[in-house]
């Protein structure tokens, strides 16, 4: 190791930027927060190419003097705190004087700003290598930041950006978190010249939620409200039956700031326990207010995590308050309602220790790869599975797996109706050495997997079942996922088109998927989950993973198997696969009950 040296400011700033500015959405967040802190009541966000090319935030807030317009890009330049005591009780979004310096370290930045009483505005440009130019100019009062060429000097970070759809989804999420809690301010967001949100000032939080998330979400909420000596809780809870597999509408705010907390999330989930099916998450919008001294917002570089003085008390208050609200609305377990509106603190036993805060724990991951045998429920009638691939049973590819597969089928088998369906779950068919039982759900997984993989590798032989168009509201953030993956979805047999700013219309599903309108909503939700992972341009391994997800989805969405002809076609298609014996995740599809075992029974 050489001699110690203090890093040049430009490098120190780049390192700091790594923490604050992870992706375009972080820039949107920091600039919007600054605009709110500046007292603006109208904030417009303009984004090009998901922020890679341009992020512009225009506000009508207090503006800056010519000196401050230059100074604001210096590290630790802030107007928001002046002393260590201030740090104990932060009431603004910003306080570190770090955000603009970080942004300017990794992008080209222009600012035009004017205070209301100044005659001229100031224009500041920070170009490559931090060269600062400033000059007077004409501009409306407020501030107008333009961030171009994000990460031009940190190619590694630029490379790690996801597709435009995914980055835009993050931007929309950050936008939503800030706009939601400030209904009295007007906001807009546009991307590549198209408006995503134009939010007028709203009368209440509920109207703002409606504007942001649509009536599917906002129409289904009950009010939450309670006050204890240490914390005030208000907000809205989604009805248990409206819980969804997709995460996204779970919001916590503390003193007007969005935060994430798996610990507090567990408090809510615990309160909903037994009211929502396993794996489903309700929507919630929980606004906490407390004395700023009781909460530390300075524990995370992007300030999305906070620390309460007494975490477990806040946990208990949230739990009790959610439980009580659900009970009062007759959603769940009986609760003593004599104390309506007032939260009775539960006495927590040892069982609560399982909910200990765990900073590392992420929000719950959704697992689509459950065991279909464990929870097989026959889907309702509708479409029918389709024989797609090559129909030749007993083809030679079994040789490596087991020797007698070539002789699996009786030789002089008639082509049709050699199958029997057992409770929609199993197909039974004679085999040379006994009775072959095919697990329908798993067979479909294999069939859909093969088909998805084929489509993903661009051999597009997929057919579609037409539907009466069904509109599904997915929220603006998720809608972009469908825009960007239109081709992939079409190649898999989906006909899904964007509609309005926050919905999609489903007009076709892959052959074999249920056409029942009631199921389409769930299907779209599952697609959101799959596509959020980033779907395009993936190497082979990712293709297999995606195909796996589509397979599970296909098998779960399939119509109930009723006709022997369909059953036969499943068997045929299955044995056209290169691996008919196991599902993509390695579970056995086919089992043979040998003759001698059948003989033994008699």
Ligand X SMILES: Nc1ncnc2c1ncn2[C@@H]1O[C@H](COP(=O)(O)OP(=O)(O)OP(=O)(O)O)[C@@H](O)[C@H]1O
Q: Which is nearer to ligand X, 77 or 313 (CB)?
A: 77
Shortest Å, Cβ 25 to ligand X: 15
Q: Which of 14, 21, 35, 456 binds ligand X (CB under 6 A)?
A: 35
Cα torsion angle, 86, 90, 95, 96, sign = positive
Asked if residue 77 binds ligand X (CB under 6 A), the reply is yes
Which residues fall within 8 angstroms of residue 101, CB to CB, at 6 or more apart?
Answer: 13, 16, 17, 73, 74, 75, 76, 77
Radius of gyration of the chain (CA): 29
Shortest Å, Cβ 187 to Mg ion: 17
Q: Which of 17, 27, 58, 99 binds Mg ion (CB under 5 A)?
A: 99
Q: Which of 24, 51, 63, 94 binds Mg ion (CB under 5 A)?
A: 94
Asked if residue 36 binds ligand X (CB under 6 A), the reply is no
Q: Which is nearer to ligand X, 98 or 146 (CB)?
A: 98
The per-residue DSSP string of 10-54 comes to: HHHHHHHHHHH-SSHHHHHHHHHHHHHHTT-SEEEEEEEGGGTSE
Residue 77: which of Mg ion, ligand X, none does it interact with, CB under 5 to 8 A by kind? ligand X
The C-alpha atoms of residue 142 and residue 38 are separated, in whole angstroms, by: 9
Shortest Å, Cβ 97 to Mg ion: 8
Which residues fall within 8 angstroms of residue 444, CB to CB, at 6 or more apart?
Answer: 385, 512, 551, 554, 555, 558, 570
Q: Which of 44, 59, 108, 211 binds ligand X (CB under 6 A)?
A: 59
Among 458, 456, 527, 455, residue whose Cα is nearest residue 496? 527
Residue 64, token pair as written in the block: 């800056």
Which residues fall within 8 angstroms of residue 419, CB to CB, at 6 or more apart?
Answer: 427, 428, 429, 564, 567, 568, 571
- Is the CB of residue 440 less than 8 Å from the CB of residue 570? yes
Asked if residue 34 binds Mg ion (CB under 5 A), the reply is yes
- Is the CB of residue 137 less than 8 Å from the CB of residue 121? yes
Asked if residue 61 binds ligand X (CB under 6 A), the reply is yes
Shortest Å, Cβ 59 to ligand X: 5
Residue 95: which of Mg ion, ligand X, none does it interact with, CB under 5 to 8 A by kind? ligand X
The C-alpha atoms of residue 427 and residue 418 are separated, in whole angstroms, by: 10
- Is the CB of residue 21 less than 8 Å from the CB of residue 83? no
Shortest Å, Cβ 90 to ligand X: 9
Q: Which of 64, 161, 295, 431 binds ligand X (CB under 6 A)?
A: 64
The per-residue DSSP string of 127-186 comes to: -GGG-EEEEEE---SEEEEEEESTTTT-HHHHHH---HHHHHHHHHHHHHHHHHT-TTSE
Q: Encode 125-150: b = buried (16+ Cβ within 10 Å), e = exposed.
A: ebeeeeeeeeeeeebebbbbbbbbbb
Asked if residue 38 binds ligand X (CB under 6 A), the reply is yes
Q: Which is nearer to Mg ion, 107 or 196 (CB)?
A: 107
- Binding part of the chain for Mg ion, among 51-59, 99-107, 119-127, 278-286 by CB under 5 A, reads 99-107
Q: Which is nearer to ligand X, 69 or 168 (CB)?
A: 69
Residue 134: which of ligand X, Mg ion, none does it interact with, CB under 5 to 8 A by kind? none
| 137 DSSP β-pair partners | 121
Cα torsion angle, 272, 275, 281, 287, sign = negative
Considering only residues 81 to 140 of the shown chain, the ones binding ligand X according to CB under 6 A are 94-101
- The 13-32 contact track toward ligand X, x by CB under 6 A, reads -----------------x--
Cα 538 to chain centroid distance, Å, stands at 19
Nearest position to Mg ion, beta carbon: 94
Shortest Å, Cβ 529 to Mg ion: 33
Asked if residue 72 binds ligand X (CB under 6 A), the reply is yes
Residue 584: which of Mg ion, ligand X, none does it interact with, CB under 5 to 8 A by kind? none
Nearest position to ligand X, beta carbon: 94
- Binding part of the chain for Mg ion, among 11-19, 87-95, 139-147, 522-530 by CB under 5 A, reads 87-95
Q: Which is nearer to ligand X, 257 or 479 (CB)?
A: 257
Residue 469, token pair as written in the block: 């168009």
Residue 112: which of ligand X, Mg ion, none does it interact with, CB under 5 to 8 A by kind? none
Shortest Å, Cβ 489 to ligand X: 39
- Is the CB of residue 596 less than 8 Å from the CB of residue 416? no
Binding site for ligand X (CB under 6 A): 30, 34-35, 37-38, 59, 61-64, 72, 77-80, 94-101, 143
Binding site for Mg ion (CB under 5 A): 34, 94, 99
């Amino acid at each position: 190791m050489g001699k110690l040296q203090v890093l040049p400011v430009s490098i120190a700033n780049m390192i700091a930027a790594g923490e604050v500015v992870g992706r375009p959405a972080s820039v949107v967040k920091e600039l919007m927060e600054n605009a709110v802190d500046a007292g603006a009541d109208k904030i417009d966000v303009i984004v090009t190419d998901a922020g890679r090319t341009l992020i512009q935030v225009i506000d009508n807030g207090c503006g800056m003097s010519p000196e401050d317009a230059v100074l604001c890009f210096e590290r630790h330049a802030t107007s928001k705190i002046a002393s260590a005591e201030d740090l104990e009780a932060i009431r603004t979004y910003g306080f570190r004087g770090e955000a603009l310096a970080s942004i300017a370290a990794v992008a080209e930045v222009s600012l035009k700003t004017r205070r209301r009483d100044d005659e001229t505005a100031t224009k500041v440009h920070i170009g490559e290598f931090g060269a600062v130019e400033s000059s007077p100019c004409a501009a409306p009062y407020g501030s107008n930041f333009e961030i171009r060429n994000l990460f031009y000097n940190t190619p590694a970070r630029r490379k790690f950006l996801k597709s435009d759809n995914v980055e835009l989804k993050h931007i929309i999420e950050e936008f939503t978190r800030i706009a939601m809690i400030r209904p009295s301010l007007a906001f807009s967001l546009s991307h590549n010249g198209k408006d995503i949100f134009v939010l007028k000032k709203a009368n209440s939080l509920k109207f703002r939620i409606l504007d942001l998330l649509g009536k599917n979400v906002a129409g289904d909420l009950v009010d939450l409200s309670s006050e204890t000596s240490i914390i005030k809780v208000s907000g809205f809870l989604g009805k248990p039956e409206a819980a969804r597999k997709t995460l996204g509408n779970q919001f916590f705010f503390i003193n007007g700031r969005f935060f994430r907390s798996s610990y507090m999330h567990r408090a809510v989930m615990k309160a909903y326990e037994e009211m929502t099916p396993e794996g489903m998450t309700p929507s919630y919008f929980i606004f906490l207010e407390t004395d700023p001294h009781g909460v530390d917002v300075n524990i995370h570089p992007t300030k999305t995590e906070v620390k309460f003085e007494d975490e477990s008390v806040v946990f208990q208050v949230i739990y009790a308050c959610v439980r009580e609200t659900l009970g009062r609305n007759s959603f769940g377990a009986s609760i003593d309602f004599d104390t309506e509106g007032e939260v009775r603190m539960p006495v927590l036993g040892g069982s609560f220790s399982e909910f200990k805060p765990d900073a590392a724990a992420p929000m719950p991951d959704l697992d689509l790869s459950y065991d279909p045998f464990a929870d097989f429920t026959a889907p309702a009638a509708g479409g029918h599975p389709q024989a797609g691939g090559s129909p030749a049973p007993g083809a030679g590819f079994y040789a490596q797996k087991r020797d007698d597969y070539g002789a699996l089928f009786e030789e002089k088998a008639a082509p049709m109706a050699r199958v029997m369906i057992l409770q929609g779950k199993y197909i039974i068919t004679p085999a040379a050495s006994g009775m072959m039982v095919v697990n329908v759900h798993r067979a479909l997984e294999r069939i859909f997997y093969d088909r998805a993989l084929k489509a993903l590798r661009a051999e597009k032989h997929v057919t579609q079942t037409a539907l009466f168009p069904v509109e599904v509201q997915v929220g603006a953030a998720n809608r972009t996922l469908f825009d960007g993956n239109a081709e992939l979805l079409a190649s898999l047999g989906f006909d899904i088109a964007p509609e309005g700013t926050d919905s999609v219309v489903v007009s076709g599903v892959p052959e074999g998927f249920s056409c029942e309108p009631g199921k389409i909503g769930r299907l779209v939700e599952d697609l959101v989950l799959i596509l959020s992972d980033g779907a395009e341009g993936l190497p082979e391994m990712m293709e297999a993973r995606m195909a796996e997800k589509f397979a599970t989805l296909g098998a779960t969405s399939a119509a109930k198997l009723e006709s022997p002809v369909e059953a036969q076609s499943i068997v045929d298609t299955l044995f056209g696969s290169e691996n008919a014996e196991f599902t993509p995740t390695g579970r056995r599809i086919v089992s043979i009950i040998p003759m001698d075992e059948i003989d033994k029974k008699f």
